[in-house]
Amino acid sequence: MSEHEILFTNAAVQNRSFDIDQNPGKVSGIIAAQLLNRLFDNPDVVHCWNNVGLFDEAETTTSDERLEHKYDSQVLKQHLTYWGTAGKLVVQTDDEEWFSTWAVGLVESCLERGDIYIQNTTFSRCAQCDLVIAESAAHIDQCGRCKGQNLDVVKEDGLFVDVPDDRQSLLLPENLYNSINIYQERDSFKQLPPRLLLSRDRSRGVNLERIGLTDKVLDPRLGIGLLAVYAASIRGYEKGCLVQSLSTLVRTAPYLNSVIVDADRQGIP
């Protein structure tokens, strides 16, 4: 176990079929996390990748093949060589078995405490590809996977978390290591619904069958953040830091910070 205080982890890069040499900016989180960990004298090198999403069903190669291609790129080879970290590198994904077991255990604990809950409600479903999209109350008019607009209604159980009345508390300035002004980003949280759906139709991910939600996985916007927390937790760090762009942060912070309301009480970094 590590005795270091805080692990910086990119959280996370979508593992799609992009060429890193042509799009090096996509791994800026990995590079920034490496620099921060070196400044804090951390021995661990962890890269997190998002394998869970609507994009996965459209890919022609497996997730392992896509990752292998990325680590064969000149950008990542040069990065690992420069820092001398190739032999220390651990790659973790949000669909791996050990993370799923840990995350489901956390979900079960949150359910027991009432931090999150399961409720039967009506959802919009795509009549073309059968994807359950969102609560009917969200008034979604197009499928995110096939772009079909022929939607019907289905009633089933979903996993939910209530959003705090003070939406801006979901991203407190004192929790950021970058002191830039994020007023507009925090202000955008006012548009959040009263609750967030945490269970989704995806081909892979943290399987929620153990809590009675068959064929559902944890929403990747929560899974991405939890993956960084998991990386810090299993290595014994007191804290975990997510290294993300603002555009990613405003999508993930509401999920992570609505569910993780008291990390000490929940037994995680």
Q: Which of 80-94, 117-131, 180-194, 220-234 has the lowest mean pLDDT?
A: 180-194
Domain boundaries, given as residue ranges, for the chain: 1-121+167-269
Percent of the chain exceeding pLDDT 70 equals: 99
The answer to whether 237 touches 4, Cβ cutoff 8 Å, is yes
pLDDT computed for residue 3 by the predictor: 67
Higher pLDDT, 173 or 263: 263
Residue 181 pLDDT: 80
DSSP secondary structure string for all residues of 78-129: HHHHHHT-GGGEEEEETT-HHHHHHHHHHHHHHHHHTSSEEEEEEEEEETTT
Average pLDDT, the chain: 93
Lowest mean pLDDT across 19-28, 48-57, 119-128, 172-181 = 172-181
Q: Report pLDDT digits (tens) over 107-140.
A: 999 999 999 999 999 999 999 999 999 999 888 9
What pLDDT is recorded for position 2?
55
Structural tokens at position 177: 């290591």
* Alpha-carbon span 160 to 156, nearest angstrom: 13
pLDDT in tens, 217-266: 999 999 999 999 999 999 999 999 999 988 899 999 999 999 998 999 99
Q: Give one word for 99, left, alpha or beta, with left for phi > 0 and alpha for psi -120 to 50.
A: alpha
C-alpha distances (whole Å) from 75 to each of 35, 72, 114 are 16, 9, 45
Of the candidates 144, 248, 149, the one whose C-alpha atom is nearest the C-alpha of residue 202 is 144
Mark out the alpha helices in 134-219 (DSSP H runs). Answer: 183-187
* Structure token digits, residue 132: 């359950």
Max Cα distance, the chain (Å): 54
Whether residue 191 has pLDDT greater than 70: yes
Angle at 104 between CA 102 and CA 108, to 5 degrees: 120
